[in-house]
Structure 1
Amino acid sequence: MSDLATKRGAVPAAKKALFLVFHIGSERYALKATEVAEVLPRLPLKPLAHAPLWVAGIFAHRGAMVPVIDLSALTFGTPAQARTSTRLVLVNYKPEPWLDARWLGLILEQATETLRCDPAEFKPYGLDNPQAPYLGPVREDALGLMQWIGVADLLTDEVRALLFAAGPSL
């Protein structure tokens, strides 16, 4: 049987997706790479008065003002450690399908690895956590559990209105 015939008769491989892996403390998390616009070094930010503590500030990037949140501070109340591997990751934030995408910066620790796997490997963990709807399903591997972060669910309506009150979308 020729290689072509073998390929045609084979069951298609599971669709794999690329994820950016990062840490909050000693725990591993992942963002789907299609939601990542750019990975930058940690940059100086302008703080925003009266914003929640996990809103790290804003910075100018390619003519746009980009709000930045510290995912460690949002999730566990402790700011991300200033490591050489701490990155400012720009994501395409689109909370609703009918809204235009906006850049949102995330401060992420140890954001230096990627993982390619079938998204179906992430399984529900059985806890309904309305305070953190962005905490998605988990995946187990030899290093333990990794949790998928849902970018669209990161901000409440109130914080989204504060951070994106005006200005153009992407």
Structure 2
Amino acid sequence: MSELTVKRAAVKPAVQALFLVFRIGNERYALQAIEVVEVLPRLPLKPIAKAPAWVAGVFAHRGLVVPVIDLSALTFGAPAQARTSTRLVLVNYRPDETFKAQVLGLILEQATDTLRCNPADFQPYGLDNPQAPYLGPVREDAQGLLQWVRVADLLSEPVRALLFPYPPLDPALLEGRP
């Protein structure tokens, strides 16, 4: 084996991951593309009574009723703007290994770009934000800072119980209620 072959084998290529880039207002955020199931145009939703304001509603998709949250409303308290680039992004939500993955819809503004980079490029920003644990590390590039949104940390325990009750509600039990 030549010396060049040995050197090439010793150098490990940088790990690259694909991210879906979107905006909340003027700020850029990213979801790891491996968590994305499908990107849809914004669709009409059925509202959920008494749910938090950032729970946008539910819709039927391929035999499933999918809950949808508005990430702009969750993060900054203002709903996503209705733009042609506002998307309904379906993600696999799985808070930890003990839960079965569930499809969750996210309303995201300007969700039209992707970025391939090394996840290690994202660095902690030095603020522990227990009110928004889903806001992960940041990455600097020519356009400014890009923040990683961690899908597994999006929902608090009470909201997870509201959107994904366990065990699932049995419709037969509801028929006998007044």
TM-score clears 0.5: yes
Give runs of aligned pairs for residues 126-141 of structure 1, distance below 5 A.
126-141=126-141
What's the offset of the Cα at 1:8? 3.6
What's the offset of the Cα at 1:105? 0.1
Deviations 1:19-67 (A, max 9, x none): 0000000000000000000000000000000000000000000000000
Q: d(CA) in 1 for partners of 2:8 and 2:145?
A: 36
User: CA 1:163 to 1:9, structure 2 compared with 1: closer, same or farther past 3 Å?
Assistant: closer
Give the equivalent residue in structure 2 for 1:28. Answer: 28
Deviations 1:47-94 (A, max 9, x none): 000000000000000000000000000000000000000000000000
Q: d(CA) in 1 for partners of 2:31 and 2:62?
A: 23
Return structure 1 stretches of 4+ with deviation > 3 angstroms. Answer: 6-10
Question: Counterpart amino acid of 2:151?
Answer: V
What's the offset of the Cα at 1:10? 5.4
**Rg bigger for which structure?**
2
Structure 1 residue 115 corresponds to structure 2 residue 87: no
TM-score by length of 1: 0.94
Question: Counterpart amino acid of 1:144?
Answer: G
Give the equivalent residue in structure 2 for 1:18. Answer: 18
SS at match of 1:5: helix
Give the equivalent residue in structure 2 for 1:147. Answer: 147
Question: Please, which runs of 5 or more residues in structure 1 have no aligned partner?
Answer: none
User: CA 1:36 to 1:7, structure 2 compared with 1: closer, same or farther past 3 Å?
Assistant: farther
Q: d(CA) in 1 for partners of 2:83 and 2:10?
A: 46
What's the offset of the Cα at 1:96? 1.2
Deviations 1:98-135 (A, max 9, x none): 21100000000000000000000000000000000000
Give the equivalent residue in structure 1 for 2:175. Answer: none
SS at match of 2:146: strand
Give the equivalent residue in structure 1 for 2:163. Answer: 163
What's the offset of the Cα at 1:6? 7.1
What's the offset of the Cα at 1:12? 1.7
TM-score by length of 2: 0.89
Give runs of aligned pairs for residues 57-136 of structure 1, distance below 5 A.
57-136=57-136
What's the offset of the Cα at 1:11? 0.9
Question: Please, which runs of 5 or more residues in structure 2 have no aligned partner?
Answer: 170-178
What's the offset of the Cα at 1:146? 0.5
